[in-house]
Structure 1
Amino acid sequence: MIHEVSLRPVTEADLDLFEREFATAEGTGPHQWFGFTPALRMRRRLAEDGLLGPEGGVLSVTADGATVGRTEWFRSAWGRPDTSSCWTVAIGLFPSARGLGTGTRAQRQLLDYLFDHTRAERVQAWTDHANIAERRALEKAGFVQEGVLRRAQWRGGAWHDQVLYSALRGDRS
């Protein structure tokens, strides 16, 4: 049983773990496998800004002190970016950390972090319509389902529906 989940800045050792753990469809899970991707860009960004910048960032997820995944956020817009931007968040957990409540707790912490340290009014996330575990985790973390984005994501040779969720600053309890 996991007792403590926390977020912290990414280290070089974390990147090594991410490369190893997320290198296959089994590692990412069926709803996050988009094929092989180079890690060089993430390593460059770690050296440049620690993966924390004005357009988004990445934090390591730890459970009882061990790195078990990452969470990230990036700027999105529903109109002109200068006036209508929000954060979109995502999470990737190692297979050993799934199904234990780790994702719910990490996503709640990220939501709190973004509302506490940025001027965001809206934070959003989406997940595959068939990803029931992530949908439950988002709802438990404080996100509200808004709707379905039909055939919005290309993955595994087919288009997939995505479910859109949001949390607003005023929703916090």
Structure 2
Amino acid sequence: MDDLRFRPVAEKDLVLFQRLRTDPEFWGPGWPGFDDPGQPARRLASDGYFSESNSWLVAERGPDAVALLNWRTSSIGAPRLSWEIGIVVVPERRGQGIGWRAQAMLCDYLFDHGPVQRIQAGTRVENIAEQKSLVKAGFQLEGRVRAAEFADGEWRDGLLYSRLRTDPAPDLS
């Protein structure tokens, strides 16, 4: 039985959000560079990491935070009817099946708690692990997005995946 579960962001998680802004290994490929390490505390104090356009949850397994999940307004579709999701799995926990399960669970959560019809996620063309994770989480490849991201000094293509409310949910067991 998988004991992966979600909870709201708490003060103890601020170190993880600070690592996102200061540690390229924590972010993974495509790190956007250093950013304000004080912003996570201000965000937690201002809205608890929940807003109309950009929200976060923490995935836990046992007592440990193992991933940070985000959903934000998508550039495709009507607000709150279409979300784009993202995930950062803690580096020490990568390769353990956390990513696909957490993304599938986040889709289920969003479908259960709002009228959303479409959830999309993008990834780099060379990120094979995330591509496999998205497919396992019930997403379908829609296509290549040219010059989707500026990272490592150049424009890079990405891949766009989506899961619709009417798509079958993956088996989480």
2:106 to 107, 110, 119: 110
Q: How far apart, in 1, do the equivalents of 2:168 and 2:114 lie?
A: 15
Match of 1:98 in 2: 94
Q: How far apart, in 2, do the equivalents of 1:163 and 1:86 lie?
A: 17
Amino acid paired to 1:26: E
Tell me the alpha carbon deviations over residues 21-71 of structure 1, each in whole angstroms, 9 at most, x when there is no partner: 66222221124x110111433322211221112223100121222012200
Q: Identify the range of structure 1 (118-127 vs 63-72) with the bigger mean alpha-carbon deviation.
A: 63-72
Per the TM alignment, residue 150 of structure 1 is displaced from its structure 2 partner at its CA by 1.2
TM-score by length of 2: 0.89
- Return 5+ residue gaps in structure 1 as ranges: none
Match of 1:125 in 2: 121
Amino acid paired to 1:18: F
Q: How far apart, in 2, do the equivalents of 1:143 and 1:102 lie?
A: 16
Higher helix share: 1
Match of 2:12 in 1: 13
Per the TM alignment, residue 17 of structure 1 is displaced from its structure 2 partner at its CA by 2.9
Per the TM alignment, residue 75 of structure 1 is displaced from its structure 2 partner at its CA by 0.5
Aligned 8 A contact 1:18 1:69 in 2: no
Tell me the alpha carbon deviations over residues 6-33 of structure 1, each in whole angstroms, 9 at most, x when there is no partner: 21100111012332366222221124x1
Amino acid paired to 2:66: V
Aligned CA distance change for structure 1 residues 19 and 37 (closer, same or farther; 3 Å): same
Residue 31 of structure 2 corresponds to residue 52 of structure 1:
no
Match of 1:89 in 2: 85
Aligned 8 A contact 2:54 2:73 in 1: yes
CA RMSD in angstroms comes to: 2.0
SS where residue 46 of structure 1 aligns?
A: helix
TM-score by length of 1: 0.89
Aligned CA distance change for structure 1 residues 133 and 57 (closer, same or farther; 3 Å): same
Match of 2:146 in 1: 150
- Return 5+ residue gaps in structure 2 as ranges: none
Amino acid paired to 2:68: R
Tell me the alpha carbon deviations over residues 74-93 of structure 1, each in whole angstroms, 9 at most, x when there is no partner: 002336x46x9510000011
Q: How far apart, in 1, do the equivalents of 2:25 and 2:40 lie?
A: 21
| Structure 1 segment 131-142 matched on structure 2, within 5 A | 131-142=127-138
Q: How far apart, in 1, do the equivalents of 2:155 and 2:81 lie?
A: 26
Residue 69 of structure 2 corresponds to residue 71 of structure 1:
yes
Residue 40 of structure 2 corresponds to residue 42 of structure 1:
yes
Match of 2:27 in 1: 28
Aligned CA distance change for structure 1 residues 72 and 87 (closer, same or farther; 3 Å): same
SS where residue 77 of structure 1 aligns?
A: coil
SS where residue 99 of structure 2 aligns?
A: helix
